[in-house]
Amino acid sequence: MGSTSQEKKEKKDNKRYDQNASDLVLSELDASEDTDSKNPVWFLPWLENIVAFVVLVLFEVYFSHPWWVADLCLLYVGVFSFVYGQRHTDLSVVLSCALLLSRYQMDTLNVCIACIRIVLTGFAIGYLKRKAKRVEEACAEQTDYLEDRLEQLAKINMENVRIKKQLEITVVNEKNTAAGLTRLLTSFIGLNKEAALEQACIVFGRIAGTKNALLLDRREDGSFYERGSGQMREIGGPVQEDLVVEGCFVNREARKDYPDFAIAFQTGNQLSNVIELSGVPWEKMTYQTLCTLREVQNYVQCLTF
């Protein structure tokens, strides 16, 4: 019952969207027809209509029978109705009927029949032209909508595939966490303090999936300097507070001026070294990564400090 009601609701929503899309297209078409004067060459169809009528009048001079002139008027009305639609149908019908009624007043019945033919034919063709244009615009609108939806679904599918692969990798890493952590920790055996810190910098970058790992040394004045280059590095207040209290910092708000991870090593009750990790992929910003970093941190802290 739940699936049936859901399907009915989806069908109603689709019908409602189709109706709204059709109404929108029709209103846009009417608005475009009402704003033809904004087009720099809006007068050209009207000028063509007048010129064609003048040519029709010149042809009328050579024909004396009203049926010949009526056929020419019918052709004139049909062409402009088919090419330009309802508006030019009105003008061409009025001009053609005026020509026939002004020239052939004696043959009133035949002229009336010819005028009726012209009016019916012109308005029928103009209406069909207008209807066909509306249907074409509605179909184009719905086609664009479906193409956009298809593109969105393709992007969603690609993102789902990527997340699925990442989850598979995460599950595999979870199964191999113990063995992998054991291999990482054994690499610190036999190293002195300075070598252990440099090895920890490499190991932390490997765990977090980044090459932007910096080892900072604290000097007597309390400032931190990058090992190797000797460049001074400022550690923000929130970062330093978390390092003192918790021993690590996680950039949960993704602020650009802070590292993604920061791991502290202490000598006594004071910070002595800090390892900053930047450029960590978003799929590595997980609790599992943090736990692995903390395990290595505690091992190095107990082993060398």
CATH number (domain holding residue 194): 3.30.450.40
Residues 231, 120: one domain? no
Task: Count structural domains, the chain.
Answer: 2
Residues 196, 286: one domain? yes
pLDDT bracket for residue 145 (50, 70, 90) = confident
Strand order, beta sheet including 261-267: 232-233, 224-226, 212-218, 270-278, 261-267, 248-250
Residues 9, 131: one domain? yes
CB 208 within 8 A of CB 289: yes
Structural tokens at position 3: 């699936």
Distance CA 21, CA 244 (A): 61
Distance CA 116, CA 112 (A): 6
Question: 266 by DSSP, 3-state: which?
Answer: strand
Distance CA 294, CA 298 (A): 6
pLDDT bracket for residue 296 (50, 70, 90) = confident
Residues 236, 122: one domain? no
DSSP bridge partners of 183: none
Position 193 scores a pLDDT of 84
CB 208 within 8 A of CB 280: yes
CA terminus-to-terminus distance, the chain: 67
How many degrees, rounded to 5, is the angle at CA 126 between CA 121 and CA 131? 130
Strand 212-218 and strand 224-226: pairing? antiparallel
Residues 7, 144: one domain? yes
Residue 300 has pLDDT above 80, yes or no: yes
What does the pLDDT average to over 154-174?
A: 74
Residue 35 has pLDDT above 60, yes or no: no
The string of pLDDT tens digits covering residues 210-235 is 888 988 888 877 788 888 777 888 88
Residues 14, 143: one domain? yes
Position 1 scores a pLDDT of 44
Residue 11 has pLDDT above 70, yes or no: no
- Rounded to the nearest integer, the mean pLDDT of the chain is 75
pLDDT bracket for residue 94 (50, 70, 90) = confident
CB 214 within 8 A of CB 223: no
Residue that wins the pLDDT comparison between 102 and 239:
239
pLDDT bracket for residue 139 (50, 70, 90) = confident
Among 175, 196, 179, residue whose Cα is nearest residue 187: 196
Domain with 22, as residue range(s), is 2-149
Distance CA 249, CA 277 (A): 10
Q: How far is CA 132 from CA 86, 125, 137, 277, in A?
A: 12, 10, 9, 63
What does the pLDDT average to over 263-278?
A: 86
Distance CA 70, CA 76 (A): 10
Residues 30, 132: one domain? yes
- Number of alpha carbons in the 13 Å side-chain half-sphere of residue 157: 6
Position 261 scores a pLDDT of 92
Question: 223 by DSSP, 3-state: which?
Answer: coil
User: Which residues fall within 8 angstroms of residue 288, CB to CB, at 6 or more apart?
Assistant: 170, 173, 174, 177
Residue 208 falls within a domain, yes or no? yes
pLDDT bracket for residue 53 (50, 70, 90) = confident
pLDDT bracket for residue 105 (50, 70, 90) = low
Residue 76 falls within a domain, yes or no? yes
- Choose the final residue of a domain: 133, 149, 165: 149
CB 21 within 8 A of CB 138: yes
- Evaluate if pTM is beyond 0.75: no
Structural tokens at position 239: 């970062």
Residue 98 falls within a domain, yes or no? yes
Residues 93, 232: one domain? no
Residue 246 falls within a domain, yes or no? yes
- Choose the final residue of a domain: 98, 131, 149: 149
pLDDT bracket for residue 84 (50, 70, 90) = confident
Residues 88, 206: one domain? no
Residues 122, 77: one domain? yes
Among 270, 278, 297, 293, residue whose Cα is nearest residue 233: 278
What does the pLDDT average to over 118-122?
A: 79
Residue 171 falls within a domain, yes or no? no
Residue 191 falls within a domain, yes or no? yes
Residue 169 falls within a domain, yes or no? no
Residues 111, 185: one domain? no
Position 104 scores a pLDDT of 64
Residue 82 falls within a domain, yes or no? yes
Residues 7, 133: one domain? yes
User: Which residues fall within 8 angstroms of residue 281, CB to CB, at 6 or more apart?
Assistant: 209, 210
Single-letter code of the amino acid located at 52: A
